[in-house]
Every structure is written in structure tokens, then in C-alpha cells.
Amino acid sequence: MNPIGLVTRIDDLYRTAITDSVAVDDRLLADWAEVAFEESQGDRATAKPIRLAVRTARKLARYWTERDPAAL
């Protein structure tokens, strides 16, 4: 996966975490990380940003679960 593809995928994950925070659970994050890692062909250099994106999405979802995303 090229860097732009990874950034786009992370952006989509963050958008989901904000707009549909209830749907972001461990299963969704694990599936997302698995696909992202496979698309990067197991590149260790992209593993760190993928793990960081999962942790950040989890925090965003937790934050936005208590707030109204329509306020954006």
C-alpha cells in the first residue's frame, strides 16, 4: 500500500470513530488493522502507524460516544 492509501484508510477509520462511535469495537478495529497490515504486505515500517491509528480510533470513539457528532 502506498502512503496515500494508508492515510486515506486511517482517515476513514477516524471518520467512522467520530460519526458512528458505537460501531467501533474491538472486532472492527482488529479487522481494520488486519486488512491494513495485509495491504502493506507485512511491512514493519507501517505496522507502527497502524497500531497507533487503532489506539487513536479507540480513544476517539470513546470520546464521541458521550458527545453528539452532529455538533461538528
- The answer to whether residues 57 and 24 touch, using CB atoms and an 8 Å cutoff, is yes
Q: Would you state the pLDDT for residue 68?
A: 66
3-state secondary structure of 71: helix
Better pLDDT: 42 or 54: 54
2 half-sphere exposure, CB direction, 13 A CA radius? 2
Q: Inform me whether the pLDDT recorded for 69 exceeds 60.
A: no
**Helix ranges, the chain (H):** 3-19, 26-39, 44-65
Q: Inform me whether the pLDDT recorded for 18 exceeds 60.
A: yes
- In the structure, what pLDDT confidence band is assigned to residue 23 with cuts at 50, 70 and 90? very high
pTM: 0.86
| CA atoms of 20 and 30, how far apart (whole Å) | 17
As given in the structure block, the three cell numbers for residue 25 are 469495537
